[in-house]
Amino acid sequence: MVGDKIGGIDFYSADGSGAGVKGSISYIASTAGSGGVTAMTFNTATSTVNNVERMRIASTGNVGIGTASPGAAYKLEVNGLLKANGGYFTN
C-alpha cells in the first residue's frame, strides 16, 4: 500500500519516558503493487510532536526538504528559507 513502511531505523527518547519514536529513517512504498516505486524519508521530533517528516529522497533521486513531494523539475526542492554561501548557482 502507498505510504507503508517497508523498513527503517527508529530512534527513541533517551530519558526512558516511553514517548515513542522520536525520529526515524524510513523506506516507504510510494506506489501500489509489487516492484513498486519507493522513497526514503528522514524524520525528527519537535518539542510537542514525534517523528515528523523533514526530508524525502524520491524514487527519481530528487530531494525535498520541508516537502513530502519533491517536484520533477529540480534535483533539490526546499520549502522554507534557504541559506547558501559561496559556490556557483544557476537559474
Average pLDDT (2-17) is: 81
Query: Does 19 or 20 have the greater pLDDT score?
Result: 20
- pTM of the predicted model, to two decimals? 0.78
Return the closest-CA partner of residue 20 out of 43, 1, 54: 43
Across the chain, where does the E strand assignment appear? 5-12, 21-29, 38-44, 52-57, 63-65, 76-78
Q: Using pLDDT thresholds of 50, 70 and 90, give the confidence band for residue 63.
A: very high
Q: Using pLDDT thresholds of 50, 70 and 90, give the confidence band for residue 33.
A: low
The answer to whether 60 touches 75, Cβ cutoff 8 Å, is: no
Average pLDDT (64-71) is: 90
Q: Is the dihedral of CA 42, 39, 21, 11 positive or negative?
A: negative
